[in-house]
Structure 1
């Protein structure tokens, strides 16, 4: 159908249907972790005061997200997106062939990345807390483990961002905006 004179096709065609995928708890967790990691890795690197409190805040956000993974909205639930190894392998094969399907929630690779990042956050939170205890204070091996886990988070987060940008391009959908608004194309 041609657009009437003086109007664009965008004004005539109905808008694409949007659905809420990422609820406020998921989005707040995501952006709190982003802010906490950036602050602790780039600003408050001394392991004291603000670094510790930001670490505790990230650990609390992680604890809330884990609980939310069992009781939260559909796409927040672990039962909705934790991939079986065979499903992950099939998805990666399809992705390599350029035939991976679009998922409304996490795709199997994205779900695996999220679980890996959550495990790394738990590890860095635990080791950071342990370093405040008298029994572990000044333990060089534990401090090195804490720093190594933080560095792995940086690498994985970089891969996560690259994958989100790639998937945004591949599907013609701004996934960063979706993590802000909570809405994706149906």
Structure 2
């Protein structure tokens, strides 16, 4: 695409969140919803949904810390 002699580039897609974060987010949301719906009637499902949500939240915190370390190392020239 050109405008008055200048070339305009089409915007490229920038991925903000990696696949693990996306899957973890939606799994946490679904697990919370399942735990909410299975509150009293299906106590075993409620408990296991809580375990899944808690485990994924812990994994997400660890993942975020690891990614932060990688970004800091990359900015400081470490590989």
TM-score (norm 1): 0.30
Among 50, 53, 56, which residue is 2:48 paired with?
Answer: 53
Instruction: Figure out how many residues of one structure are paired with residues of the other and give that number.
Output: 63
Tell me what 1:67 maps to.
Answer: 62
Separation in 2, partners of 1:14, 1:35: 39
Aligned counterpart in structure 1 of residue 38 of structure 2, from 35, 44, 48: 44
Match of 1:151 in 2: none
Quick check: 1:24 aligned with 2:19? yes
Distance, in Å, in 2 between the alignment partners of 1:63 and 1:25 is 13
SS state of the match for residue 18, structure 1? coil
- In the alignment, structure 1 segments of 5+ residues that lack a partner are 2-12, 81-186
TM-fit CA distance, 1:39: 1.2
Matches of 1:56 and 1:44 in 2, distance apart? Answer: 14
Moved over 6 A (4+): none
TM-score (norm 2): 0.66
Unaligned runs of 5+ in 2: 2-7, 72-79
Paired with 2:34 and 2:48, the residues of 1 have a C-alpha distance of 11
Q: Which has the higher contact order (CA 8 A, sep 6+)?
A: 1
